Structure 1
Amino acid sequence: MVFVKSHDISELNQELIGKQVVLGGWIEDLRKLGKMSFITLRDISGISQVIVKGELNDNLGEINRQSVISIKGIVQETKARDFEFEVKAEEIEVLGKAIHPLPVDPIGRLESNIDTRLNHRALDMRNQKTASIFKLRHYVLQILRKTLAEKKFIEITTPKIIGSASEGGADLFSLEYFGKTAYLAQSPQLYKEQMTIGLERVFEISNFYRAENSHTGRHLTEFTSIDIEAAFMDYNDVMDVLEALVIAVYKFTAENCKKEQESIGHTIEIPSAPFERITYNQCVEELKKAGEKIEFGDDLLDSHLRIIGNNHPGFYFLTDWPMKLKPFYIREKDEDATLSRSFDLQYGYLELSSGGTRLHDSELLKARLSEQGLDPAQFEDHLKTFDWGMPPHSGWGMGLDRLMTTLIGIDNVREVVLYPRDPDRLSP
C-alpha cells in the first residue's frame, strides 16, 4: 500500500510534535548503527532525519541511497545539529528502488562533468545546486509575467511552424510539412508586430530555434526568448521597460531566494539603475583608443565587445547602430538616416537583448526589403496588415537562458536549460 503524503518536510513544525505524519521522498543518506538506523530523507521542500528502531529496523533490509520511500511516523524533537525535528518511523514502504552505483552522484560528493550530468538530467535534479538553479528559473518566469502584466502587456502565443523565413535569415531549420517546406520559427517578430494593431502591448515567453553551428557557452539551437512589442512607444520607452524588468528579476530573487543562493554559492546583487547608455559611435572611438582597427559600419566582434565590456562592467545599453547592420524592419533616425533607432542590452561582453523602433509604413518596408535583397512577395501576409492601420511600435527580444547565467554567475547556458539542444546534443 502506498502511503499518501500528509506533509512536505518543510511543513514540519513545533505544533506537530507527538503527532503522526506521512512523508515521502528519497533517501539521501542511510546509516545503520546496530539496533537503529538513521535515514536522511529529502523531498523538494527540504530535508529531515528519520529514526528507525526495533523490529522495523531489523526488517529494514538493504535499501540503496536515492531510493524513494514513504514513511509513516511520529514527529519528535531531536538532538541532531542539522535538523529542527526528526520522525520516529512506524512504517516504511519502498516505492522505487535505486540502483547502485548511480551514473552521477546527486549529493555531489563525486563530481561529474556537465555532459555526464546532462545525459542523466533527471537524476541531476536531486543535486541541490542544480535544483536551486531551476527553482530560480521558475521564480524568474513568475516575476517576468507579473511585471509585464502590471505594465499592461498581454501574453500571446505565436506559431512555431511557419511557411516562410520570416526575418529573411539563413539560420532556419526546415521540415517537410504535408508536401510543403516549413520552418521552425527563430523569433515571433512579425507576428508580435501584427498584434499591436489590436492588442497594443503584447509579450511572449516561448522557445525558438536557430540552426547556428555554434559551439560556445552562450549559443543553443533551441532557446527560450522573452519578447515584447508595444504600440505608441519608441525605442527609448521599450528600453525603460527592459531595464525595469531586469531590475525586478534581480530584486525579487535577491530578496526572496536566499536558500537557493546559498545552494548555488552565489549572492545575487541588485544592479544599479539607470543602466548606462552608450552609442555605437562611442564604442568605435573606445575601440580605436584601445588600438583596434575598426571603422563606422563594421560589426562589433566578440573581441571588440570584451574590450567594451571591460570599460562598462555590468548592464548597459548599446544604442544607435548603423542601419546596414540591422534587420529590414528597424527604423532609421530622423536626424541621421545612416543610424538606426535600435539597441542591444549588454552584460559586459554578453548580448542579452536586441530591439528598436520598427518601420510601420508598408511602402517603406517594401523598399527596405528590396534594399536588403529580400523579395517583398515572400512577406505578403505580413505587409498587408500594415494597410489596416498599423500604429507606430517598438519592441525587443531577450534570451532568458543568457539572463539566467548573469543572475547566478555562470558562463554556460547549458547549466540553466533542462535538456539543452546544440549541434552535438539531440538527447536525452
Structure 2
Amino acid sequence: MEGRQVTINGWVREIRDLGGIVFVLLRDGKGLVQVTASKKDTPPESFKIIKGLAGEYIVAVKGSVRASPQAPRGLEILPLNVKIIAKASHPLPIDTAEKVPADIDTRLNARILDLRRREPNAIFRIRHEVLKAIRDYLYSEGFIEVQTPRIIAAAAEGGASLFELKYFDRTAYLAQSPELYKEQLTTVFEKVFEIGPFFRAEESHSRRHLNEFTSVDVESAFADYRDVMRLQEQLLHRIGEHISKSCREELETINVHLKPPKIPFKRYTYSEILDELEEANCRINWGEDISTEAYRRLGELHKGEYYFITDWPTSTRPFYIKPRSDDPKVSYGFDTMYGWIEVASGGSRIDEKEALIKRLKEQNLNVESFKFFLDVFDYGMPPHAGWGMGLERLLMGMLKKNNIREVVLFPRDRFRLFP
C-alpha cells in the first residue's frame, strides 16, 4: 500500500495545525484516515486549502500513501491535490470531534451530526449486524419473512394505546403488533417472522419507552410456548456469538465486553418471581402486573442475566394467549427478561374459535371487530405459538445503555416528533 496513489472523499473530523505542518483526520463510511500536509512538501495551492479547512467540510484528497505508526490504521496520506466539495456552517451544534460533551436532547436535535461521532456510529453498525444475525438464524430454521399492514381496523391487544387516524370515511389505527396477521399466516406458511416498525400511543415518558419501535415477531404452527422459548434463547445466543466476533472494533468503541449468553436460560414462574420480590421487601399481590419499581429490584437480583418468567395470570395477558388446561387462571404466556428489561413477550395461542370469543368478551372487546380474524378459525387453525421482541429493548440491554433513545436513529416519543 505504501507509495500508492489514492483519492479519498470524506468529512473533516479534526484538524491539528502546527504552522508548517497540518494534520487532518478525515472520516468516511469506513473509518478515519490521516492526511498530513507540510509547507515544505505539499503543493502551495493544496496547502492553502488545507489551512482553510474546518470541521465537517467535505473534501476530496488525492495523494500518496505512507506508513505512519501513530496514524489511524498505521497509514497517512501525503496530499498532492485537495478539493473542497462542500462547506459546513459554524459554529456546529455539537462537537463531532467529541472533545465537548452534549446532553441527549442536544444530540438528538442534531442527530445527523451526532451519528458522525464514533460511539453512536458504532451502535448502529452493531444494530445492523444484530438484524443480519436474526434474519440469518430464522431463515436457517425454515421461517419465511412477511410484511403485514400498519393501517388496521382492530387492535391486537385492545384499543387504549392505539394511534387513531382517518382512513377516508372510516376510522383506522396504526398497528401496535402484527399478532393477528402472523397467526393467520401460520395456516399458510407454518413458520413466519416479521421485523418492522409498530406504534403505541402510550403517554409514558421514560428511558425505556418509545411510541414508535421496531418489533421482531415470530409465529410457528404446530408449536407451543416451550418450543418458541427454546427458539428465542437459541436466537439470542446466536446473536451474541455473531456480534462478539464481527463487531469487535465497535464494541471496543462503546466499551462493552459482550459474551454470548449461556443457554438454556433459567425459567421462573410468575409465582416464584413474586416470592423473590417479597423476600427483597417488594410485595406484589398475585394477579397484579409487575411494577417498574419491582422490575428494577429484579434487575438487582438478576443483573446481566437472561431469564424467562412463565405461568403469568391469564388476566394479565392479551386475549389470544392460551389459558392452561389444568388451571385456567394461569396462562401459557411468558416474558423474556434481561436484568430488569422486558425484552420479549409470547406464549401459546388460543386455537379454538369459541375459546377465543370467550376471551374477547372477558376483556370487554367487540367480537364483531375481530370477525376477519375469527373467520380464519373456520378454515382450520393449527396449534401455534410465538413471541414479539423489542429490538431497541434488546439493544439497550446488550449494549448497557440507560436510555432507549441511544439505540434508535430518530426516536419518537411523547415530546419528540423532529427531526
User: Contact 1:279–1:319 (CA<8 Å) still a contact in 2?
Assistant: yes
- 1:58 Cα deviation after fit: 4.5
1:210-249 pair list within 5 angstroms: 210-249=200-239
User: Contact 1:26–1:69 (CA<8 Å) still a contact in 2?
Assistant: yes
Q: Which residue of 2 aligns with 1:37?
A: 22
Q: Which residue of 2 aligns with 1:153?
A: 143
Q: Is the aligned partner of 1:268 residue 2:258?
A: yes
- 1:54 Cα deviation after fit: 3.3
Q: Deviations over 1:217-237 (max 9, x none)?
A: 000000000000000110000
CA distance in 2: counterparts of 1:257 and 1:208, whole angstroms: 27
Q: Which residue of 2 aligns with 1:46?
A: 31
Mind listing any 5+ residue stretches in structure 1 that lack a counterpart? 1-15
Q: Is the aligned partner of 1:25 residue 2:10?
A: yes
Q: Which residue of 2 aligns with 1:192?
A: 182
Q: Which residue of 2 aligns with 1:96?
A: 86
Q: Which residue of 2 aligns with 1:178?
A: 168
Aligned-partner residue type, residue 150 of structure 1: S
- 1:311 Cα deviation after fit: 2.7
User: Contact 1:161–1:183 (CA<8 Å) still a contact in 2?
Assistant: yes
Note closer, same or farther for the CA distance 1:83–1:247 as it changes in structure 2 (3 Å cut): closer
For residue 245 of structure 2, give the secondary structure of its aligned residue in structure 1. helix
CA distance in 2: counterparts of 1:357 and 1:240, whole angstroms: 13
1:291-310 pair list within 5 angstroms: 291-310=281-300
- 1:279 Cα deviation after fit: 0.2
Q: Is the aligned partner of 1:287 residue 2:272?
A: no
Q: Which residue of 1 aligns with 2:418?
A: 427
For residue 60 of structure 2, give the secondary structure of its aligned residue in structure 1. strand
Give TM-score, length-normalised by structure 1.
0.93
Q: Which residue of 1 aligns with 2:351?
A: 360
- 1:310 Cα deviation after fit: 2.7
- 1:20 Cα deviation after fit: 1.4
User: Contact 1:36–1:54 (CA<8 Å) still a contact in 2?
Assistant: no
Q: Deviations over 1:71-105 (max 9, x none)?
A: 11111223645551211111111111112221000
User: Contact 1:56–1:90 (CA<8 Å) still a contact in 2?
Assistant: no
Q: Deviations over 1:373-411 (max 9, x none)?
A: 112111000100111011110000010001001111112
Note closer, same or farther for the CA distance 1:58–1:231 as it changes in structure 2 (3 Å cut): closer
- 1:41 Cα deviation after fit: 1.5
CA distance in 2: counterparts of 1:17 and 1:348, whole angstroms: 49
Q: Is the aligned partner of 1:130 residue 2:120?
A: yes
Q: Which residue of 2 aligns with 1:395?
A: 386
User: Contact 1:35–1:58 (CA<8 Å) still a contact in 2?
Assistant: no
Q: Which residue of 1 aligns with 2:408?
A: 417
Aligned-partner residue type, residue 402 of structure 1: R
CA distance in 1: counterparts of 2:113 and 2:219, whole angstroms: 39
For residue 27 of structure 1, give the secondary structure of its aligned residue in structure 2. strand
User: Contact 1:37–1:57 (CA<8 Å) still a contact in 2?
Assistant: no
For residue 373 of structure 1, give the secondary structure of its aligned residue in structure 2. coil
Structure 1 stretch displaced more, 390-399 or 365-374: 365-374
CA distance in 2: counterparts of 1:31 and 1:310, whole angstroms: 46
CA distance in 2: counterparts of 1:385 and 1:140, whole angstroms: 34
Q: Which residue of 2 aligns with 1:326?
A: 317
Q: Deviations over 1:175-226 (max 9, x none)?
A: 1111211100000000000000010000000000000001110000000000
User: Contact 1:35–1:57 (CA<8 Å) still a contact in 2?
Assistant: no
Q: Which of 82, 94, 99 is 1:109 aligned to?
A: 99
Structure 1 stretch displaced more, 290-299 or 171-180: 290-299
Q: Which residue of 1 aligns with 2:66?
A: 76
Q: Is the aligned partner of 1:339 residue 2:324?
A: no
Note closer, same or farther for the CA distance 1:277–1:54 as it changes in structure 2 (3 Å cut): same
Q: Deviations over 1:110-130 (max 9, x none)?
A: 000000000000011110011
Note closer, same or farther for the CA distance 1:327–1:82 as it changes in structure 2 (3 Å cut): closer
CA distance in 2: counterparts of 1:221 and 1:20, whole angstroms: 50
